[in-house]
Amino acid sequence: MSALRVLLVEDDDLIGALLADLLSELGHHVCATAQTEAEAVAAAALHEPDLILVDVKLKQGNGVSAMKCIAQTSAAPHVFMTGAGRREFPEGAVILQKPFCEPDLLRALEQALTLSV
């Protein structure tokens, strides 16, 4: 997998920092981070990421709604992260259940990229 510019949407500072470090170690670049639905939509428009890694539950808004807005202007592949049980996701969504490890993240990224082709 070639290096990706990733928008990271995560409202927990510690988890966000750990994910950013992991993505960097995997050779990817976190082009922007967002902690709210509104920040995610704005960052996606500004940075035009190759992939969006988005937490479903945010303190302000949620990741599913953010992706609905972003999808109106961008076809960026995305992965939903969730620590909650079953939720309503768009058909064909790539879901990464928290907690996860590096191989799980890699599989989810590859799956999202494959679905976007």
Check whether the bond before 77 is cis (ω within 30° of 0): no
Of residues 77, 75, 55, the one with CA closest to residue 66: 55
Query: What pLDDT is recorded for position 8?
Result: 98
Query: What pLDDT is recorded for position 91?
Result: 83
pLDDT string in tens for the chain (117-residue length): 799 999 999 999 999 999 999 999 999 999 999 999 999 999 999 999 999 999 999 989 999 999 999 999 999 999 999 987 666 788 889 999 999 999 999 999 999 999 876
pTM beyond 0.75: the answer is yes
Burial 9-34 (b: 16+ CB within 10 A, else e): bbbeeebbeebbeebeeeebebbbbb
Total count of domains within the chain:
1
CATH of the domain at 15: 3.40.50.2300
Domain that holds residue 63: 5-115
Query: What pLDDT is recorded for position 86?
Result: 62
Determine the Cα–Cα distance for residues 33 and 47; give it in Å rounded to an integer. Answer: 10
